[in-house]
Amino acid sequence: MKNLFTLLVVNLLISQGLFAQQYVDLLHIQHSHSIGKVDAVSFDQTNFTESSVDLLLPIKLDSTKTIITGAIGERTYFNDRTGNSVMIYGLMLKAGMNIKHSQNLSGSYILLPRIASDKLQFNSNTFQLGGLILMKRKYSEVFSFKFGVYSNSEFFSPFIVPVLGFYFQKARWEMNVSMPINADINYTIKKNLLAVGFRYDGISRSYFRYNTANRYLEKANNELALYARVNIKEWNFKIMAGHSLWRKFGEFDSNDRADLALPSFKIGSRSPIYESALDELLIKLSLTYRLAI
């Protein structure tokens, strides 16, 4: 049964050129906890935790097309400078297609509807619509280049993120970069068992708040971390230690929106009801079901 499942996924993925790397992550579970510190204003100890589950399921149509489906669920808990505890949730669906345009060029076209709020309710207040177009050009067996754009109808404004990156794997080194969203550089110490690496993640998201009428919460976060990864057959366990950079939470009136947001700045001014900066040391644990192809 295991061999049949492996052959099925390999047939779905490798024939499509869905991924430049020699594996695919079908399930990824992650939990992050920041090491709290005493706030200089309120004298309360800060607290920040995040948990997420990412599921991917590709469905083959023919030799050049594969449907991409899946979902991402996430939960964030923190206490702000006023001492209030805040819990926010996000649920994103993946629905799209990967098309192999030629021997060395493929494209992923994915619709990303999302609900984001302090309550898991689906309505016009919590709904966002996003999408991703990502092109991949293979230049050799060890290197490929990728470029595209991600966009989403965030509550703070339309959000557009140009994406540039590459994938490189040779000998013990692997580099998987998609800036400004994430980057992963790792070195294999013992094949199929142990690797160490460096990872960057950058996000900016927004959530509707039922607990404060007609407001939304914006979360901006960048994280740098070193990690060790242990492989046990198809399962990978990773422990990371690092620090957040420019992590901010801001609450705004629902009508207080910018005209346009890009990764490094926004066009149009806003006036936050409050803002909290929560840069802290962090620990992350993750478990991944990774299938070699």
Q: What is the pLDDT of residue 19?
A: 45
Q: What is the pLDDT of residue 39?
A: 54
Most confident listed range (17-26, 31-40, 265-274, 282-291): 282-291
Structure confidence by residue, pLDDT tens digits, 121-165: 888 899 999 999 999 999 998 999 999 999 999 999 999 999 999
Question: What pLDDT, on the 0 to 100 scale, is given for residue 280?
Answer: 84
Nearest to 118 by CA among 211, 252, 249: 211
User: Taking 70 as the threshold, does the pLDDT of residue 23 lie above it?
Assistant: yes
pLDDT at 132: 97
Quick one: pLDDT at residue 261? Answer: 94
pLDDT of 42 higher than 80:
no
Return the amino acid letter for 206: S
Res 46 pLDDT > 80: no
For the chain, what is the mean pLDDT?
A: 87
Give the closest residue to 90 by CA, choosing from 58, 124, 128, 57.
Answer: 128
**Residues 227-249 as b or e (16 or more Cβ within 10 Å = b):** bebebeeeebebebebebeebbb
pLDDT in tens, 95-131: 999 999 999 999 999 999 999 999 888 888 999 999 9
- Average pLDDT on 1-26 reads 50
